[in-house]
């Protein structure tokens, strides 16, 4: 990959900020403080990295106002170096250009809509009634079911499965192994057996959503499962039927969200958190990694329930003590009673 | 999808129950109390939904004896409205008819058995010695390994992988991304390295089993991994080698079951529960979501170990107190001793 | 599968150990004590299985010095029967021979390197600049991205996805549904939205690594995600961007490792353990199943944090008591104060 070169002056013209030092310095890559070489621009997000800043070999640095004087390198001073870094990185490492083409080994229904601007990889299958938006890119072996639709500018990597009727918005990024719209887990018990409940809803996904590898989002039972605009889902997440995830909520890897739960907008759900079904989580709620949510949460705030790893001997004692909590509580009550008697006799 | 219309009288003729009101009312869909329109039948499963029942726009309702008088709409009174709903939904939303056909882009060994009644999607691969039953439908890109067999009437959605020798029973429903029969995690430690133990068993799956998206079931090490009849597995479940899951057990999403564990029949395993290896869980055991099972369980009942999410400040204090439990226990003992001395002196 | 027959004398010539009894006994399979038939060799790893040893129908047994006299069957006495069993099993059940061939339905770039000794299954896609080593076998439907490389003798089962630039070492075994090199979860928050940070690093995997079904390993953000030699990963593991897993570490199923965490060599990570991001775990650390690691761990040892399943009524009381720990602690302090007063008055 030959990459374009860009001057600090060009960056500031695009993204704002103030240059301190030589505005003509050219960079062609972005890197960490440690990893940067003489053609890279780097960035510092926290004063604790000042020692690394002192040792960096980068050509230039993105800094906050607080770090304006922490280096003598050419630098861009801005309000939020991490966001600035994201923009510079996106400029220097744009996603691959979509070259419109239809692979010979793809199988596309005559009743599907595939615009000339789309790219369809080898082995893709697009069923009747399905439609791709302008500039959509499907990696190898994607499956787009009947009447499913993919919004403009979306990119599906290899081996993504979209079940019938499901809808993705514009500019989606969907990684390999994702399954959108499989049946939710709906069964009625009857005489020790399970009757399957047809899952007749869809998955409806807004614009600017990213979905990580091997994540699964089930179709609704009767109504739809909804993922709103700007939601970011990491890998191996499971979202049950009839859930709704609010706009711009980010969900880290290995999270499970059981059916019919609604999550507000701008929430952050830590890795491997598990959220029970039929709950309502409000806006701007932060759930810690591994936390188990069993009740609805109204108010913004941070919620936890994970106990950190402990050396095994100490942990075994803790578990034993946990099991004796009831006895401890009884003993305290007994002590209180006996002490009160003694005090009275005094 | 144009759907058939059905009269209440037809439903009662098929599924039993008693009609109150106009038996000639026609419905063509099933929906929630809130979502129902004037051509839908709906259902009520709990008295807490009576307000919604009052406001529903549905044409008819499925109710229990207890709700017989809770609505003036035409209604079917039955013993178990949820199971009744499942049956009506299945009637109104039958699975797509399997149209026998072999996609031109599939690759089928001359030594595989594929009956005329089967449907094989684009890009499927069926290896030698493999066999499909009557009416089997394989979605796009399924892989059926050597000597594997799929029972009559089974439906595999796109991108299912069945390793060699594995067997699925009749009427299986297997969702996308499922992997059946990959090697179990078997290694012998030797001098700081790991020697792979060939996994020579199979996965053997009974009839009427459903398997959710991206679930994995490992083949046995020396003997077989067995999933009995009627088992329902949700998405992203991991079942280790040599496990046996008893008939009609339901396992919710994200559950992990380590190797050589046996689970009885008619159990319910909640989402993200984790079950250690080499255990025996009896029949009709209920494991709560997120619960960690480390010992065998003989008796039916419900088992839990998850602590619900707590506001972060309170939780941090709880964790600190957990770590001081031993000191608390010591203090209680000390208080008991000193109090006994005082009492004696009295 | 017709299998070769082997004499005990042949096994000892290859793998060492001492024969007690008839060295000419022939075996053609390996099985458990219970499952073995008269043409099998079996093994005993613990004295608790002596009763099963007494009842086995096997032709011969692999035993430790301690069990030398526990059977009258022909036997091989060796230092580590489990490792010996692994070697015998590998001899009797070798992986299928790779027959070099390129499936007609595969799509291979003219600018990819595929040696004559490789086998490429139906529907595989190999992009330009990608390279396969000698004797590599790709199962059906594998995707090898641009400039990715697969080391000599590696076997990828059906439906493995390797993103561009990623590197696998020699003799890798990669199971179905694995995704190597999808984007890490990197976003900068800005005004309630998320800016995507391009993930420009790679995944670099050493030699002799095995990766279980549906496991995902994300590419690095700026630098690489690294899996060192001899690492064994079970199914449904998620490894975040910029992680490094040390040589010969074994990770059980459903584990999640968040971004930028480094794990030492020869560690064992139990199933469903979760390791937070930006941590450093030393060599030879054992993490129990389900344990949540939130801090770096320097010293070898075993670490736990899981509470075992408890009957639901008892568990609900424990959770309530947990929530009252602060009150209990306050009461103990109060009791101590009052008791000290009484003691002083005495």
Tens place of pLDDT per residue across chain A (346 aa): 446 799 999 999 999 999 999 999 999 999 999 999 999 999 999 999 999 999 999 999 999 999 999 999 999 999 999 999 999 999 999 988 999 999 999 999 999 999 999 999 999 999 999 999 999 999 999 999 999 999 999 999 999 999 999 999 999 999 999 999 999 999 999 999 999 999 999 999 999 999 999 999 999 999 999 999 999 999 999 999 999 999 999 999 999 999 999 999 999 999 999 999 999 999 999 999 999 999 999 999 999 999 999 999 999 999 999 999 999 999 999 999 999 999 888 7
CA angle C120, C124, C129 (to 5 degrees): 85
Phi, psi of C132 (to 5 degrees): -110, 140
In the numeric block, the tokens 């990197």 are attached to C186
H or E element in which residue A251 lies: strand A250-251
Confirm if B312 and A304 have CB atoms less than 8 A apart.
yes
Do residues A258 and A241 lie in contact, with contact meaning Cβ atoms separated by under 8 Å? no
How far are the Cα atoms of A242, A247, A300 from residue A268, in angstroms, in the given order? 20, 11, 11
* pLDDT grade for B1, boundaries at 50, 70 and 90: very low
Question: What span, in angstroms and rounded, lies between the C-alpha atoms of B106 and C176?
Answer: 19
A&B contacts, CB < 8 Å: 218
Separation between Cα atoms, residue A24 and residue B23, nearest integer Å: 83
Query: Is residue A293 exposed (0-12), middle (13-18) or buried (19+ Cβ within 10 Å)?
Result: buried
**Could you tell me if C218 and C236 are in contact, meaning their C-beta atoms sit under 8 angstroms apart?**
no
Chain A CB within 8 Å of residue C216 CB: yes
Cα separation of C144 and C127, whole Å?
A: 6
Other beta carbons within 10 Å of A278: 12
Q: Are B136 and B150 in contact (CB under 8 A)?
A: yes
Q: How many Å apart are CA B148 and CA B69, to the nearest integer?
A: 54
What phi and psi, each to the nearest 5 degrees, are found at residue B65?
Answer: -55, -40
Q: What are phi and psi of C191, to 5 degrees?
A: 60, 40
Spatial separation of the C-alpha atoms in residues A125 and A103, rounded to whole Å: 11
**CA C157 → CA B188, B212, C119, distances in Å?**
22, 21, 11
Quick one: which of A257, C133, A220, C233 has its CA closest to B35?
Answer: A220
Contact B69, B89 (CB under 8 A): no
Token match 């090697």: residue? B183
Catalytic residue among B69, B241, B248, B278: B241
**Percentage of chain A lying above the pLDDT 70 cut:** 99
- Asked if the C-beta of B322 comes within 8 angstroms of chain C's C-beta atoms, the answer is yes
Asked if A256 and B250 come within 8 Å (Cβ–Cβ), the reply is no
Chains with at least 3 CB pairs less than 8 angstroms from chain C = A, B
Q: How far apart are CA A294 and CA A305, in angstroms?
A: 11
Interfacial A residues in 76-135 facing C (CB < 8 Å): 80, 82-83, 85-87, 89-90, 92-95, 103, 105, 121-123
Cα–Cα dist A11/A85, whole Å: 11
Catalytic residue among C46, C241, C248, C278: C241
Q: Which residue of chain A comes nearest to B45, CA vs CA?
A: A188
CB–CB contact A123 B123 (8 Å): yes
Q: What is the pLDDT of residues B231-251, one digit of tens each?
A: 999 999 999 999 999 999 999
Hey, which residues 236-265 in chain C have their CB within 8 Å of chain A? 236, 238, 240, 254, 256, 258
**Cα separation, B156 vs B144, whole angstroms:** 10
Residues of C with CB below 8 A from A326's CB?
317-318, 321
pTM of the model: 0.97
Cα gap B45→A193, rounded to integer Å: 19
Is the Cβ pair B107, C123 closer than 8 Å? yes
Do residues B220 and B237 make contact, with C-beta atoms less than 8 angstroms apart? no
Tell me if chain C has a CB within 8 Å of the CB of A140.
yes
Contacts of C125 in chain A (CB under 8 A): 121-123, 140-141, 158
Cβ within 8 Å of C, B 152-171: 159, 161, 163
Give pLDDT tens digits for C55-112. 999 999 999 999 999 999 999 999 999 999 999 999 999 988 999 999 999 999 999 9
**Largest separation between any pair of C-alpha atoms in chain B:** 97
Phi-psi region of B177 (alpha: psi -120 to 50; beta: other; left: phi over 0): left
Q: Which residues pair with A107 in a beta bridge?
A: A125
Predicted local confidence at residue C345, as pLDDT: 83
Residue with tokens 């290899």: A158
3-state secondary structure chain C: CCCCCEEHHHHHHHHCCEEECCCCCEECEECCCCCCCCCEEEECCCHHHHHHHHHCCCCEEEEEHHHCCCCCCCEEEECCHHHHHHHHHHHHCCCCCCCCEECCCCEECCCCECCCCCEECCCCEECCCCEECCCCEECCCCEECCCCEECCCCEECCCCEECCCCEECCCCEECCCCEEEECCCCEEEECCEEEECCCCCCEEECCCCEECCCCEEECCCCCCEEECCCCEECCCCEECCCCEECCCCEECCCCEECCCCEECCCCEECCCCEECCCCEECCCEEECCCCEECCCECCCEEEECCCECEEHHHHHHHHHHHHCHHHHHHHHHHHHHHHHHHHHHC
Within an 8 Å CB–CB cutoff, is residue B202 touching chain A?
no
Using the Cα atoms of residue A310, residue A316, residue A319 and residue A320 in order, give the sign of their dihedral: negative
Chain A nearest-CA distance from C102, in A, is 16
**Phi first, then psi: what are they for C139, rounded to 5°?**
-70, 175
Write out pLDDT tens, residues B109-164: 999 999 999 999 999 999 999 999 999 999 999 999 999 999 999 999 999 999 99
How far apart CA B108 and CA C103 sit, in angstroms, is: 12
A30: nearest CB among C187, C222, C295: C222
Of A210, A248, A271, the CB nearest to C274: A271
CA distance A163 to chain C (A): 18
Contact residues, chain B, for A163 at CB < 8 Å: 157, 176
Distances from the Cα of C300 to the Cαs of A10, A206, C197, C282, C297, in angstroms? Answer: 51, 47, 35, 7, 8
Residue A143: which of B159, C124, B211 has the closest Cα? B159
- pLDDT, one tens digit per residue, over C216-267 is 999 999 999 999 999 999 999 999 999 999 999 999 999 999 999 999 999 9
Cβ–Cβ contact B230 with A under 8 A? yes
Region for residue B38 given its phi and psi (left: phi exceeds 0; alpha: psi -120 to 50; beta: otherwise):
alpha
Please write the tens of the pLDDT for every residue from C30-40: 999 999 999 99
Interface partners of chain A (CB pairs < 8 Å, 3 or more) are B, C
Judged on CB neighbours under 10 Å (0-12, 13-18, 19+), C28 is: middle
Chain B CB within 8 Å of residue C235 CB: yes
Which residues in chain B are closer than 8 Å to C250, comparing Cβ atoms? Answer: 187, 194
The CA distance from C243 to C223, in Å, is: 10
pLDDT tens digits for A73-131?
999 999 999 999 999 999 999 988 999 999 999 999 999 999 999 999 999 999 999 99
What letter does residue A337 receive in the DSSP assignment?
Answer: H
- 8 A C-beta contact, residue C175 and residue C155: no
Kindly state the average pLDDT of the residues C147-153.
Answer: 98
C219 touches chain B (CB under 8 A): no
At C218, list the tokens.
């994300």
Inter-chain contact B295–C308, Cβ cutoff 8 Å? Answer: yes
| ipTM of the shown complex | 0.96
Whether the pLDDT of residue C200 is over 50: the answer is yes
When CB atoms are compared, the residue of A143, A317, A331 closest to B326 is A317
Report whether C10 contacts C27 (CB < 8 A).
no
CB C237 within 8 A of CB B238: no
Q: Please answer yes or no on whether A187 and B35 come within 8 Å at the CB atom.
A: no
In this complex, which of B306, B312, B326 lies closest to A288 when CB atoms are compared?
B312
For residue C204, give both structure tokens: 């670099």
- CA pair distance A92, A39, nearest whole angstrom: 12
How many beta-carbon pairs under 8 angstroms link B with C? 219
Tell me the pLDDT tens digit for each residue of B30-68.
999 999 999 999 999 999 999 999 999 999 999 999 999
Do the Cβ atoms of C223 and A32 come within 8 Å? yes
Q: Tell me the DSSP string of A136-152.
A: -EE-TT-EE-TT-EE-T
CA atoms within 13 A on the CB side of B271: 25
**CB C85 to CB B179 under 8 A?**
no
Q: Mind telling me how many Å the CA of B138 is from chain C's nearest CA?
A: 15
Of B140, B210, B332, the CB nearest to A143: B140
- B344: tokens are 């004696």
Instruction: Pick the residue from chain B with its C-alpha nearest to C106.
Output: B123
Report the share of chain B in percent with pLDDT over 70: 99
- By annotation, the residues of A acting in catalysis are 241
CB contact (8 A) between residue A176 and residue C194:
no
Q: Do A195 and B83 touch (CB under 8 A)?
A: yes
Q: Are C69 and B177 in contact (CB under 8 A)?
A: no
Least Cα separation, residue B154 to chain C (angstroms): 21
Rounded-to-integer distance, Cα B16 and Cα B27, Å: 17
Search chain C and give the residue with CA nearest B177. Answer: C177
CA distance C45 to chain A (A): 25
pLDDT score recorded for residue A50: 95
Do the Cβ atoms of C326 and B324 come within 8 Å?
no
Measured in angstroms, the CA of B101 and the nearest CA of chain C are apart by 19
Confidence class for position C1, pLDDT limits 50, 70, 90: very low
* Cα within 13 Å of Cα(A68), Cβ side: 9
- Which member of B32, B90, B250 has the closest CB to residue A222? B32
């Amino acid at each position: 990959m030959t990459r374009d070169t860009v001057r600090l002056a060009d960056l500031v013209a695009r993204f704002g900020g103030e240059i301190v030092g030589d505005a003509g310095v050219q960079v062609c890559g972005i890197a960490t403080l440690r990893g940067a070489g003489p053609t890279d621009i780097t960035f510092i997000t926290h004063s604790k990295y000042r020692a690394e800043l002192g040792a960096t070999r980068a050509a230039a640095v993105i800094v906050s106002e607080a770090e304006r004087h922490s280096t003598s390198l050419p630098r861009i001073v801005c309000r939020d170096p991490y966001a600035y870094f994201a923009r510079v990185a996106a400029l220097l490492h744009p996603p691959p250009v979509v070259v419109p083409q239809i692979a010979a080994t793809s199988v596309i229904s005559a009743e599907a809509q595939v615009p000339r601007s789309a790219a369809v990889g080898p082995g893709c299958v697009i069923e009747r009634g399905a439609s791709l938006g302008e500039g959509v890119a499907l990696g190898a072996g994607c499956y787009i079911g009947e009447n499913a639709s993919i919004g403009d500018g979306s990119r599906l990597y290899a081996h993504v499965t979209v079940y019938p009727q499901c809808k993705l918005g514009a500019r989606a990024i969907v990684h390999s192994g994702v399954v959108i719209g499989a049946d939710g887990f709906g069964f009625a018990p009857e005489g020790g057996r399970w009757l399957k409940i047809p899952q007749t809803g869809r998955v409806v996904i807004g614009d600017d959503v990213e979905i990580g590898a091997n994540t699964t989002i089930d179709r609704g039972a009767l109504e739809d499962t909804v993922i709103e605009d700007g939601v970011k889902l990491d890998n191996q997440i499971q979202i049950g039927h009839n859930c709704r995830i609010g706009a711009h909520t980010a969900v880290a890897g290995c999270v499970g969200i059981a059916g019919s739960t609604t999550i507000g907008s701008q929430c952050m759900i830590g890795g491997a958190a598990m959220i029970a079904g039929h709950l309502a989580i409000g806006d701007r709620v932060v759930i810690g990694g591994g936390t188990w949510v069993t009740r609805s949460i109204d108010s913004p705030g941070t919620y936890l329930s994970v106990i950190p790893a402990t050396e095994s001997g100490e942990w075994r004692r803790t578990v034993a003590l946990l099991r004796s909590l009831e006895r401890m509580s009884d003993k305290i009550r007994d002590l209180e009673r006996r002490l009160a008697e003694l005090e009275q006799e005094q």
